[in-house]
Structure 1
């Protein structure tokens, strides 16, 4: 029996379980909290009033879960596991087809489908690339699940709809009983200290090496990151929601999965599909927010006028136009906005919006094959940049700079770029930050930029470290 035959025809329909009115971000999170402690599941949470932040969603009671490592694909149900050798993106498409029922879109933008992530290392089954960075976490390279229950919160209308799939021969995957956790977030002993897998000098030398590669004509830009880690013995949900209150953004994600949690605070969209329209929104260019209005204005002005940031974003826009061109109709790709300024609690960012019309019959897996990983987190040209990343970075990135989101049955998709993202595994929190390096980059400025990007999480962890030690 192959994976898709095992579940074909098991979804019979969907019913509207409940409607909530006058919902707010706070009331939605109150509903969601107990679900993330009693079931495997995921939350996709939107903040700010940007045009890409209309909906928040929660998904729980998964009836099947598909994960992959290399070309080894595992399907998990309440009855056990089935393993098959297959390309994971082919398996994703076949699973979508096998489970897709015949009912129309009831709630936009999601009325059923798969939810999960693509780890950065999925690149290794898409291209012939080296893998010398240490895989110390040993987690799946892709993981998606089919939720039996989900809620869609429309932040514009204040309405939340709870839908439940009607399935046959499938029961929710049970979550093992877990011990109660203390509501503290970081241990107070020596093991709780924050550690990076780069020293400052090592990071500066790595940036200098990339600049030499650029000077020699190997690449135009490379995204370099460092990974921090700290021990963690508390409730990841509390940390994640506190991060949202500190610095809301459109593409937050929380995943409670077997053997690991993912806490993502991203503001970057990788891919959004609505019918035959595909959109990507790369971010390149960052400045910290100023403490005073004049400082903040100076940072904003410097970002908008700096030629290095302009060149960096323009290169990635060209790369993504080329990637979308592999699956979109000729002459349909448009740069709808370029160098749009977006402000967040800690940083300013430059954003571009690129759209295209998909060729008929293009599947989700084919879209990912053409575009993954996102060019804003690799560099240009993409393959050579990824080779250099593997040479210089010490550990695999896993979901960091991969993508988290949903792929719906009704030709909808919304996947983020998993930046500002932490992984919790075996009572340790892993968090990577990086930035794009070009020839004009200054080594110490690149290092400081990573610290600015990580500031919200560092501050949250430090605050709770103090609370534990009192």
Structure 2
């Protein structure tokens, strides 16, 4: 295989935009941006894959097995996504809610070109790294075109949402579940957007450590997610569930109060503990006995729109398990289901009004050395350019102590950055 070449950039933020503009000329694109967040488990600041020499697009059924075979046959960086509805091949579950996005349930591709950026070093792998460097360096950043605002509708009114939360609390009181992640869809049936410009605006408004842009021909994932689902680094597995959200405040003193209130909120702490316990249980299936531990509990992390409570659960990988098996053992992520996991997913399917699809799945990559890293697809726009259907979900953890009105307000808070982008 051709040896990658390393170049030095003196202006990372400009170069990455130019590189993404260049990559977007291909039908298959995957872009990850850490947005300068310090993360001990990331191996690069920016990853770009452009063009597909081969790809795997599947519906749920035997997708994990076919993915395992695909990974055995290929090396290098292999980006792609796993949709939430792959749950149906892991458990006796169904997804019968309406779906107008029509994404494949699983998609991975072998890139023709990859660009890895760490600090000021740009590593380009492809048939002509020097030519790619020259093209990107000389790329002219166009003036963004003005898009008409997108009219957004919701599957629930406030009253309907609050009534549904009350019904779900009835299941908790009866002992059917302890916690559930209940989601609602915001959508537009006739949206005309420039997906790349929309991503660039979203990434500016809400720069998060796992921001991603994925293009599969006419399907787009435009994401400002702050959450890591699962990563492997050597023999170590890492999961970082988020539970606990508070709005930012422009007043510094009030913002500090928001942080303290979040750290002292018994409901938010209880949500986090429940999901940490679920993640610990999931990781046990892939761990050497006795190695599962909570590396950080209730870590407070601040982003541009919100403060979040993030916990870190780790373990040592059990010998003999493939990466596909490790992911299947924990999929879907507990932060997007609830506990007990299967009961929560059954109730979510019953009460939600649209198919989740890619939402609450995972975008990420498999690396050449056996490592992998996948995020959680939240705070994410999904767009089908063929039928002009645009969608994004927001959700929240419903527990015994949930206030239906506050849960609705939290779902709107999580949608703020996306709504702001679409109204520009």
Compute the TM-score of the two structures, normalised by the length of structure 1.
0.83
**Counterpart in the other structure of 1:141:** 105
Give the Å deviation of 1:55. Answer: 1.9
Partners of 1:22 and 1:159 within 8 A in 2: no
CA spacing shift, 1:88–1:165, aligned 2, 3 Å: farther
Give the Å deviation of 1:324. Answer: 0.6
Partners of 2:9 and 2:15 within 8 A in 1: no
Please point out which of 27, 38, 41 is paired with 2:15: 27
Q: Does 1:16 align with 2:4?
A: yes
Give the Å deviation of 1:365. Answer: 1.2
Partners of 2:236 and 2:315 within 8 A in 1: yes
The C-alpha deviation readout for 1:9-65, integer Å capped at 9, x for no partner, is xxxx24214523335233212222121133421101111433256521000111111
Runs of 5+ in structure 1 lacking a partner? 1-12, 72-86, 101-111, 167-180, 464-470
Matches within 5 A, 1:125-204: 125-154=89-118, 157-164=119-126, 183-187=145-149, 192-204=150-162
CA spacing shift, 1:444–1:40, aligned 2, 3 Å: same
**Counterpart in the other structure of 2:316:** 357
**Counterpart in the other structure of 2:32:** 44
Q: SS where residue 445 of structure 1 aligns?
A: helix
Q: SS where residue 279 of structure 1 aligns?
A: strand
Provide the rounded CA distance (Å) in 2 between the counterparts of 1:369 and 1:440: 31
Q: SS where residue 355 of structure 1 aligns?
A: strand
Runs of 5+ in structure 2 lacking a partner? 129-142
Provide the rounded CA distance (Å) in 2 between the counterparts of 1:360 and 1:217: 37
Please point out which of 379, 394, 403 is paired with 1:433: 394
The C-alpha deviation readout for 1:111-161, integer Å capped at 9, x for no partner, is x2321100111101110013331233232111111112100011xx32110
Please point out which of 172, 193, 207 is paired with 1:214: 172
Q: SS where residue 224 of structure 2 aligns?
A: strand
Q: SS where residue 341 of structure 1 aligns?
A: strand
Give the Å deviation of 1:388. Answer: 0.5
Provide the rounded CA distance (Å) in 2 between the counterparts of 1:70 and 1:373: 13
Provide the rounded CA distance (Å) in 2 between the counterparts of 1:14 and 1:251: 29
Q: SS where residue 219 of structure 1 aligns?
A: coil
Please point out which of 59, 65, 87 is paired with 1:90: 65
Give the Å deviation of 1:256. Answer: 1.0
Q: SS where residue 3 of structure 2 aligns?
A: strand
Q: Please, what is the CA RMSD of the aligned residues? A: 1.8
Partners of 1:286 and 1:348 within 8 A in 2: yes
How many pairs does the alignment contain? Answer: 406
Provide the rounded CA distance (Å) in 2 between the counterparts of 1:140 and 1:413: 21
CA spacing shift, 1:88–1:224, aligned 2, 3 Å: same
